[in-house]
Amino acid sequence: MADKVAVLLTGYGEVEDYDDFAEYNERSFRLLVSKSIKFPDFSIPWLSRRLERSQKKEWHAANHYHSPHNDIFERQRAGIADHLGARYGDDVKVYKTYNFVEPFLPEQVLREIRADGFDRIVVYPWLVVDSVFTSGLVLEQINKALAAAPPWVDEMRYLPSFWDREDFQQVLADHIEAGIAPLLDRFAQSQVGVALCLHGCPLETKGMETGVRESTALYYAMQERLVQKYPLISPAWMNHPVPGKWTTPDVDQAAENLITLGARAIVFAPIGFVTENHETQLDIGYTIDKIKDRVETRHVATLNDDPELLRIGADWIVPLIEELRS
């Protein structure tokens, strides 16, 4: 088995059934929200049910919204697996795990990996930036699961965030420019505002890494690639409606700022995500609804199962797989 390696592709996951909201929320409160806001343990089930009611109302109002996240994530997993399979055959297997969705919780998938006979693992957060809210969550969950069983993992490797990889940034820039292109027969390039949408970050989190540094660096890297053609560019932070100080400008304010500078069209391009989810669709959609009578808008999808993204995404972990096979 020395040549066999399991790749654990990790993401958040989103609810498949509205009845799963409360359970999803409880896991989220305990693992995610508690990093920035401390709740008494006894209050979490009540808060989860209260948020469930709000979410059901919101998603019902959005034409009975169903998140595409999990379907897209599976296509991403399969695409990366195909590339690695062409190189390694059955010696490398790609598993997926979600922070909050059964039956793909880390402890569940680790049991499957062990049962399949793997003892060497590459942990691969399929998330653009590292933070306590992204890769930190799955590492916490993995460590908890490993602590509950006798030692069985022989070796492990971890792929840090990929925001700074040149090939990723170029694929993303090309994707954004393709989204802008349909506007250029009607607007000058200086009239097209580009809102680069990032996952919002709380600014007070007990000293833990929030992702704000890497997200900000990603914004400036993408701005540098685009600004000579499209000078009206702004970060647009997709903040959560919870107490505390958050990154600015949020998506609404970013749109207003671009309009103030003369934008007649605004392109909203999520760059802090590679998998479509309710935030990239619904939250950006709410801002578009507020301004669509004043400017033309375009909503660029995330990269999702873009073939080039999946090819380079597989290439990134080849060196780690080779280390474990040597």
- CATH number of the domain at 270, please: 3.40.50.1400
Residue 279: inside a domain: yes
Residue 293: inside a domain: yes
**For residue 62, what pLDDT band results from cuts at 50, 70 and 90?**
low
Residue 265 contacts residue 300 (beta carbons within 8 Å):
no
- Residue 202, pLDDT score: 79
Which residue would you say has higher pLDDT here, 207 or 167?
167
Q: Which of 9, 31, 61 is the last residue of a domain?
A: 61
Number of domains the chain contains = 2
Sheet holding 192-199, edge to edge: 233-238, 192-199, 265-270, 296-299
Residue 96: inside a domain: no
* Lowest-confidence segment of 19-28, 130-139, 185-194 by average pLDDT: 19-28
pLDDT tens digit string along 285-298? Answer: 999 999 999 999 99
Does pLDDT of 48 surpass 90? no
Residue 277: inside a domain: yes
* High-pLDDT (> 70) share of the chain, %: 86
170 and 295, same domain (yes or no): yes
Does pLDDT of 266 surpass 80? yes
Distance of CA 259 to the CA centre of its chain: 28
pTM: 0.91
pLDDT tens digit string along 141-185? Answer: 999 999 988 999 999 999 989 999 999 999 999 999 999 999 999
* High-pLDDT (> 90) share of the chain, %: 69
Question: Best-predicted range by mean pLDDT among 8-12, 36-40, 241-245?
Answer: 8-12
**For residue 133, what pLDDT band results from cuts at 50, 70 and 90?**
confident
49 and 173, same domain (yes or no): no
**For residue 46, what pLDDT band results from cuts at 50, 70 and 90?**
low
User: Looking at residues 132-139, what average pLDDT do you find?
Assistant: 83
Q: Provide the mean pLDDT of the chain.
A: 90
Which residues span the domain enclosing 231? 166-299
Residue 142: inside a domain: no
* Lowest-confidence segment of 16-20, 281-285, 312-316 by average pLDDT: 16-20
The full 3-state SS of 39-80, as one line of letters, equals CCHHHHHHHHHHHHHHHHHHHHHCCCCCCCHHHHHHHHHHHH
Q: Residue 76: phi, psi to the nearest 5?
A: -65, -45
**For residue 27, what pLDDT band results from cuts at 50, 70 and 90?**
low
* Lowest-confidence segment of 35-49, 107-121, 147-161, 227-241 by average pLDDT: 35-49
The whole-angstrom separation of Cα 287 and Cα 270 is 13
- Residue 222, pLDDT score: 98
Residue 99: inside a domain: no
The strand pair at 155-158 and 192-199 is best described as unpaired
Q: Which of 61, 84, 114 is the last residue of a domain?
A: 61
Residue 98: inside a domain: no
**For residue 35, what pLDDT band results from cuts at 50, 70 and 90?**
low
Residue 228: inside a domain: yes
Q: Which of 39, 61, 83 is the last residue of a domain?
A: 61
- Residue 303, pLDDT score: 98
- Residue 16, pLDDT score: 80
